């Protein structure tokens, strides 16, 4: 099981696309934090009449709602972890090494959870 | 240990309306190269996939080491398989693909360089596989199959799409492995090529076993192609 988990983590780490996802999640979260603050607090911004600035609780809520956007990329990564196996036909090799498919799924689940955690932490730090 | 380590027992597989394999029974002798021959759509791949536990048979069984593939402990140390040339991620290098497979079954990474040497891919070890030619992909598949140094090799159409040079390379590669006493089951419809490589023959047509025996018994002085055409046409007529 631990060997299988290592193998799954390797699949995540080796793929450049995954690192891009991580970077995007951070940028997205940073943008999601900065943009609402600028818009809500701008003098003539559309917000003044309709929304409140960041001095009000509503304004703060709006900022936090946008800032959490990095999770979207964890979602995408989660989908890719599973679908990549079928897209590239690597599922065959994976199942030949580990014929018990439930074990493979558990290893993938753990690897994906760890990756999701990393993405959330990273995007949290950047915002 | 000699004898039989691969056995199809009344194997049947139905996909909706298509009976891909029908009551197929055959044995593969250990330590020999067995050609698994049949026209396209004859059921070769389906039978091999049943043997490797990738699809569940509708009836009967395909046994390896006296049981199903999924019962094997550490299967890739016993059985290596090449099913198509799509078994790895194009965005990763040859070595990374091998490391993923090796770490899943706790194979030492020093073995990776050995298998890359074995298939003459050492110079492309750190290249992404998306730039690989078909011949290189086939050789990488063979490298993956050889990772666990298995006693049994199962190859589905390994010569497909190879150029003449690649075919010569594959023939010599298989002969070398056979010389080491491994059991090789190789499916193909390239009969002239198989004639020089295999010692035993299994012929399947429309999901049914047509003939099995040594190449001498099957050919009876004819070329494998003549024997094959006569056997498959006679049975289907």
pLDDT of residue A55: 75
Q: What's the pLDDT tens digit per position in B151-183?
A: 999 999 998 878 888 888 998 999 899 899 999
- Do residue B45 and residue B28 come from a single domain? yes
Give the Å distances, CA to CA, from B141 to A22, A30, B1, B26, B86. Answer: 31, 43, 27, 26, 8
pLDDT of residue B88: 85
**CB within 8 Å: B87 and A99:** no
> Please, what is the average pLDDT of chain B?
90
Indicate if the pLDDT at residue B193 is higher than 50: yes
Indicate if the pLDDT at residue B118 is higher than 90: yes
Give the Å distances, CA to CA, from B89 to B85, B98, B213. Answer: 11, 10, 39
- Do residue B160 and residue B49 come from a single domain? yes
**C-alpha–C-alpha distance, residues B118 and B180, integer Å:** 14
- Do residue B65 and residue B97 come from a single domain? no
Where in chain A are the domains?
Answer: 2-126
Higher pLDDT: B4 or A19? It is: A19
pLDDT of residue B1: 45
Query: In this complex, is the C-beta atom of B76 within 8 Å of any C-beta atom belonging to chain A?
Result: yes
How many separate domains does chain B show? 2
Indicate if the pLDDT at residue A127 is higher than 60: yes
The pTM score is 0.86
> Please, what is the average pLDDT of chain A?
84
Q: What is the CATH number of the domain that holds B2?
A: 3.40.50.300
Min Cα distance A116 → chain B (Å) is: 20
**CB within 8 Å: A88 and B76:** no
Indicate if the pLDDT at residue B200 is higher than 60: yes
**Alpha carbon distance, N-terminus to C-terminus of chain A:** 36
Indicate if the pLDDT at residue B142 is higher than 90: yes
- Do residue B56 and residue B169 come from a single domain? yes
Query: In this complex, is the C-beta atom of B144 within 8 Å of any C-beta atom belonging to chain A?
Result: yes
Give the Å distances, CA to CA, from A93 to A96, B68, B76, B114, B148. Answer: 5, 17, 10, 19, 13
**CB within 8 Å: A95 and B89:** no
Mutation pick from B89, B102, B137, B141 vs chain A, by most beta carbons of A within 10 Å, is B89
Q: Which of B121, B149, B177 is the last residue of a domain?
A: B149
pLDDT of residue B7: 95
**C-alpha–C-alpha distance, residues A37 and B52, integer Å:** 58
Query: In this complex, is the C-beta atom of A17 within 8 Å of any C-beta atom belonging to chain B?
Result: yes
For B60, other C-beta atoms within 10 Å of its C-beta total 18
For the segment A2-10, the average pLDDT, to the nearest whole number, is: 90
* DSSP label at residue A1: -
pLDDT of residue B22: 93
pLDDT of residue A50: 57
- Do residue B74 and residue B84 come from a single domain? no
Three-state SS for chain B is CCCEEEEEEEEEEEECCEEEEEEEEEEEECCCEEEEECCCCCCHHHHHHHHCCCCCCCEEEEEECCECHHHCCCHHHCEEEECCCCCCCCCCEHHHHHHHHHHHCCCCCHHHHHHHHHCCCHHHCCCEHHHCCHHHHHHHHHHHHHCCCCCEEEEECCCCCCCHHHHHHHHHHHHHHHHCCCEEEEEECCHHHHHHHCCEEEEEECCEEEEEEEHHHHHCCCCHHHHHHHHHHHHHC
pLDDT of residue B152: 95
**C-alpha–C-alpha distance, residues B180 and B68, integer Å:** 25
Q: Which residues of A touch B99 (CB under 8 A)?
A: 10, 14
Give the B window 173-232 contacts with A, CB below 8 Å. Answer: none
Q: What percent of chain B has pLDDT over 90?
A: 67
Q: Of A16, A17, A89, which has the smallest distance from its Cβ to B84's Cβ?
A: A89
Indicate if the pLDDT at residue A112 is higher than 50: yes
Query: In this complex, is the C-beta atom of B108 within 8 Å of any C-beta atom belonging to chain A?
Result: no
Chain centroid to CA B90 = 22
pLDDT of residue B35: 94
Indicate if the pLDDT at residue B107 is higher than 80: yes
- Do residue B127 and residue B164 come from a single domain? no
Q: What's the pLDDT tens digit per position in B28-58?
A: 999 899 999 998 889 999 999 999 999 999 9
Q: Which of B149, B173, B190 is the last residue of a domain?
A: B149
Q: Which of B149, B169, B188 is the last residue of a domain?
A: B149
Indicate if the pLDDT at residue B78 is higher than 80: yes
- Do residue B58 and residue B124 come from a single domain? no
Q: Which domain holds residue B53?
A: 1-78+152-237
Give the Å distances, CA to CA, from B9 to B51, B58, B209. Answer: 11, 12, 11
Q: What's the pLDDT tens digit per position in B215-236?
A: 999 988 888 889 988 888 875 5
pLDDT of residue B143: 94
Complex ipTM:
0.84
- Do residue B177 and residue B133 come from a single domain? no
Q: Give the count of alpha carbons within 13 A of A106, CB side only.
A: 9
- Do residue B66 and residue B163 come from a single domain? yes
- Do residue B123 and residue B175 come from a single domain? no
- Do residue B45 and residue B6 come from a single domain? yes
**C-alpha–C-alpha distance, residues A107 and B53, integer Å:** 20
Residue B70, Cβ density class (10 Å: 0-12 exposed, 13-18 middle, ≥19 buried): middle
How many contacts, defined by CB atoms under 8 Å, are there between A and B?
Answer: 67
Indicate if the pLDDT at residue A20 is higher than 80: yes
pLDDT of residue B190: 82
Query: In this complex, is the C-beta atom of A48 within 8 Å of any C-beta atom belonging to chain B?
Result: no
- Do residue B91 and residue B4 come from a single domain? no
**C-alpha–C-alpha distance, residues A36 and A11, integer Å:** 36
Higher pLDDT: A123 or A22? It is: A22
pLDDT of residue B8: 95
């Amino acid at each position: 099981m631990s060997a299988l988990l290592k193998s799954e983590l390797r699949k995540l780490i080796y793929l450049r696309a995954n690192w891009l996802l991580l970077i995007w999640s951070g940028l997205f979260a940073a943008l999601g934090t900065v943009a609402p603050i600028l818009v809500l607090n701008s003098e003539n911004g559309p917000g003044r009449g309709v929304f409140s600035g960041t001095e009000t609780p509503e304004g703060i809520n709006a900022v936090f709602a946008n800032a959490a956007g990095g999770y979207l990329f964890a979602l995408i990564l989660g989908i890719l972890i599973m679908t990549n196996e079928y897209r590239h036909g690597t599922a065959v090799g994976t199942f030949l090494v580990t014929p018990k498919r439930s074990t493979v799924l558990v290893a993938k689940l753990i690897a994906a959870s760890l990756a999701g955690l990393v993405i959330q932490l990273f995007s949290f730090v950047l915002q | 240990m000699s004898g039989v380590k691969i056995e199809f027992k009344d194997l049947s597989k139905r996909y909706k309306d298509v009976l891909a394999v029908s009551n197929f029974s055959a044995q593969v002798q250990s330590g020999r190269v067995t050609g698994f021959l049949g026209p396209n759509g004859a059921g070769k791949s389906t039978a091999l996939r049943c043997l490797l536990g990738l699809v569940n048979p509708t009836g009967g069984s395909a046994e390896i080491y006296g049981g199903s593939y999924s019962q094997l402990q550490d299967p890739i140390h016993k059985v290596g398989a090449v099913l198509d040339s799509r078994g790895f991620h194009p965005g990763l290098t040859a070595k990374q693909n091998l490391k993923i497979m090796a770490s899943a079954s706790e194979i030492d990474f020093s073995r990776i360089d050995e298998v890359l040497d074995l298939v003459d891919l050492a110079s492309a070890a750190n290249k992404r596989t998306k730039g690989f030619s078909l011949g290189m992909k086939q050789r990488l598949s063979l490298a993956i199959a050889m990772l666990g140094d298995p006693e049994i090799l199962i190859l589905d159409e390994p010569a497909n799409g190879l150029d003449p040079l690649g075919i010569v390379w594959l023939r010599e590669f298989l002969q070398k492995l056979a010389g080491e006493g491994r059991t090789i089951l190789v499916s193909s419809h390239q009969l002239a090529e198989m004639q020089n490589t295999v010692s035993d023959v299994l012929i399947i047509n429309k999901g049914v076993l047509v003939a099995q025996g040594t190449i001498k018994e099957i050919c009876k002085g004819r070329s494998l192609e003549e024997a094959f055409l006569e056997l498959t046409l006679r049975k289907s007529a």
